[in-house]
A and B are shown apart, each in its own frame.
Chain A
Amino acid sequence: MLELLMRALLGGLGVAAVAGPLGAFVVWRRMAYFGDTLAHSALLGVALGFLLDINLNLAIVVLCVGLALVLVALQKKHIIATDTLLGILAHSSLSLGLVAVSFLDNVRIDLMAYLFGDLLAISQTDLYWIYGGGLLVMALLVAFWRPLLALTVNEELAKVEGYPVEAIRLLLMLLVAVVIAVAMKIVGVLLITSLMIIPAATSRKLSQTPVQMATFAGVIGCLSVCGGLWASYHWDTPTGPSVVVCAALLFLIAYTLPTRKMAS
């Protein structure tokens, strides 16, 4: 039991530590709905993974990246408003995923675990994926911090100053896709974006610089995981939703407690 909890804790902390800083970018660039769309499509990745008998994490990453590329291509054509486009892709890919899963009668899939996450089902292999993927995302975030931030502040200025804007934008999408793939086990496709957005939003209240905000977001995410796991252990509540509830509570506390002058 203790080993199970330790593994859950390690996995959760690994995901939260990287989802927080990346979540800051998602908040700054207003990509929340984009993250949701990729997350919803992840279930289709799971179904395809089972169907083609390939590694599930790999299938999810490939599908998310593919969808991100399709999105960019469609956005450029201005066929329809971006949020409508995202809505169409999010829900149709989720539904397609659910339909595809129903065809897999020889495999037993715990659908609830994929939709809402199951920290306690984390295996040793999952941990390797989480820490491998997490370290990769972290390393890229640190290495490309300035271009990523310059792009976020003003794309045109960044372009005139010679940053490779298209490549950086793509990099950010890839990072979001990787985080979604590794975070899916923890909080499930329906709740992944919350683990990116809520800690980052909480962190905004405490930060004066972008680096502070990204760092605190990681820390707050880790606190949410600890709290959620503890609650889940005590009251036997589902782990994924417990983590999200905990993150939301921290957000409420940060924004209702009187603080010294708010960073504006």
Chain B
Amino acid sequence: MSTRLAELKDIGIRFGDRQLLSNINITLHQGEIVTLIGPNGSGKSTLIRTLLDLQQPSSGSVIRHNTLRIGYMPQKLHIDPTLPLTVKHFLGLVRGVNKKDITPTLKKVGIPHLENSQVHVLSGGETQRLLLARALLNRPNLLVLDEPVQGVDVNGQIELYGLIAAIRDELNCGVFMISHDLHLVMAQTDTVVCINQHVCCSGSPQHVKDHPAYRALFGVPGADASLAIYAHQHDHVHDDSGEVVEEGHVHSASCKHHAH
């Protein structure tokens, strides 16, 4: 068995009287891609933030093994427009970075031509690649990616997932990422964990896809063909700037939460 990097043990998180997560157990290994899926508000980001020590669990513990070194890619990057910042300078902010690594890393994620561009003018896909570059420059053995394909069209998503898998093959690092869409990420994933406040089901992508709990959350049986073409279930609201409003979770017909 490959080296363990980090373990989430019986994680529970409670905000006030709302139990957001309970009894979550996940182990992350070197060289393994684990994808976390779940509906909006299911606690995916909170779980990732717990692993990163940005959020204290109410119960349970996070075990980080000595060798663990995380490269983190946040869900979005907001840089105040009053701050002039080029791609090169943004990447130069990584703690203890070797400036010589910046150009090769930009090449690796496919945006070498943007080295001197201002970060504010990048497109959605370019921004995601920039964030991936920043995560890589931290010399990680575990990549933690919070919706790495956000704001990217379907072709771009497939490319990005391919890139992430290629990086895993090259560095033999672990990958822990959040995805909205199992179908696009399936081919590049070893293990899928489907959560909605608790772990609904987990295992190989094929296993999860056929699991009743997954189907109850995400799909109608037999809809796979149409989902492969257009799998975006728009059960969240956007504000004026296009950001997802977390609180405004609108329940659609296909959104069946478990009764707890």
Contacts and interface: CB of A to CB of B under 8 A. Distances in A.
Interface string A181-221: 00000000000000000000100100111101100000000
Contact of A150 (B72, B74, B84, B95): B95
Specify the main secondary structure of chain A where it touches its partner. Answer: helix
Interface stretch (B86-94, B190-198, B201-209, B240-248): B86-94
Contacts, number: 72
A44 B71 CA distance: 46
B84 A263 contact: yes
Interface residues of B, number: 27
Given A153-B90, A264-B120, A208 B84 contact: yes
A91 interface: no
Interface in B98-117: none
Specify the main secondary structure of chain B where it touches its partner. Answer: loop
Nearest to B144: A160
Contact of B118 (A161, A162, A201, A264): A264
Contact of A153 (B52, B93, B95, B121): B93
A152 interface: yes
Given A153-B85, A209-B85, A210-B89, A160 B80 contact: no
Contact of A157 (B80, B81, B86, B134): B134
A27 interface: yes
B93 A162 contact: no
Contacts of A149: 93
A238 B98 CA distance: 51
Interface of B: 52-54, 70, 72, 74, 77-86, 89-90, 92-95, 118, 120-121, 134, 138
21 contacts: A28-B83, A146-B92, A149-B93, A153-B85, A154-B79, A157-B72, A157-B74, A157-B134, A158-B95, A160-B53, A160-B138, A161-B72, A161-B95, A161-B138, A201-B82, A208-B86, A209-B85, A210-B83, A210-B85, A263-B84, A264-B118
Given A154-B79, A160-B54, A213-B83, 15 more contacts: A28-B80, A28-B82, A28-B83, A152-B80, A153-B79, A158-B95, A159-B52, A160-B72, A161-B95, A161-B138, A163-B95, A208-B118, A209-B85, A210-B89, A263-B118
